[in-house]
Amino acid sequence: MYALNYQKAPSLKQASRALTESPTSRVLSGGMTLIPSLKHRLIQVDQLIDINGIAGLKDIRVEGDHLWIGAGATHQQVARDPQVRAFSNGLADLAGLIGDPQVRARGTLGGSVANNDPAADYPAAVLGLGATIVTHQRSIAADDFFKGMFATALAADELIEGLRFERPLKSAYAKFRHPATGYAMAGVFVAQMDPNAWRVAVTGATDGVCRWSEAEAHASCGNSNQPPSFEHERVLDDIHAPASYRAHLVRHLYAQALAQLS
């Protein structure tokens, strides 16, 4: 292990300021991605800024017709919170399908969304529900936030405070887990936002979470026809699954999510 500084930040503003002190400072939330990356020397940092003690960062509350989930809320909190369950079954189910109990006990919504792993689950719900990502500086619509593999609209010193979700009429998430890691080999989030507006987001299958417009049109038309084929120019093709298999999975998971909608 190499030497590094550790500090606990009392606020997001101060954490952001500390980030600018060195180009290799990183914010530590659940540590479920950051710590393994450090242990495997995939990244090297000279300062960790722990945001776990910041007041209110783990809050979950209903605000009128919106649901607020603080960036520090763990996957387990989200999966078990009755307010989340009453708001969106898809979101609560998705949180309960992340990793294993240990990962769910530590990993956080903010960390997952900021990391934007192409096989992560939360980006599918955030995009599928058209959520708003609230940072300590501004609000960013989900449609403008995810920028492909491990890339987001966040500036280097910008920190997520929480996410605001709109209430769907119905929602569901279907996932095929990678047998070794638990990450999504493919995952499809379907949400009916109003009688005529559907959103469908796909994770795991391409180089970053994306909306699937053909499925949105299919769902809007009452989904009585066969589900569309998943056509995308960058379907992942690797030792775990060829592109044709992943595309097939997406189509199948979309049908499964439609059947689960509630």
- Binding region for ligand FAD (CB under 6 A): 26-34, 36, 71, 98-99, 103, 107-108, 110-112, 114-115, 117, 120-122, 159-160, 181-183
Nearer to ligand FAD, 35 or 169 (CB): 35
Min. distance of Cβ 63 from ligand FAD in angstroms? 19
Nearer to ligand FAD, 69 or 219 (CB): 69
Nearer to ligand FAD, 181 or 213 (CB): 181
Q: Are 83 and 67 in contact (CB under 8 A)?
A: yes
Nearer to ligand FAD, 112 or 192 (CB): 112
Min. distance of Cβ 80 from ligand FAD in angstroms? 16
Min. distance of Cβ 248 from ligand FAD in angstroms? 21
Min. distance of Cβ 195 from ligand FAD in angstroms? 31
Nearer to ligand FAD, 26 or 218 (CB): 26
- Give Cα 126 distance to the centre of its chain: 6
Nearer to ligand FAD, 136 or 170 (CB): 136
Name residue, tokens 């809050």.
Answer: 59
Structure tokens at 100: 């294993």
Which are the contacts of 148, defined by CB distance < 8 A and separation ≥ 6? 118, 207, 208
Min. distance of Cβ 45 from ligand FAD in angstroms? 9
Nearer to ligand FAD, 117 or 216 (CB): 117
DSSP per-residue letters across 6-64: EEE-SSHHHHHHHHTT-TTEEEESS-TTHHHHHHTTSS--SEEEE-TT-TTTT-EEEET
Please name every residue paired with 202 in a beta bridge, in sequence order, or none if there are none.
188, 210
Min. distance of Cβ 204 from ligand FAD in angstroms? 9
Min. distance of Cβ 224 from ligand FAD in angstroms? 32
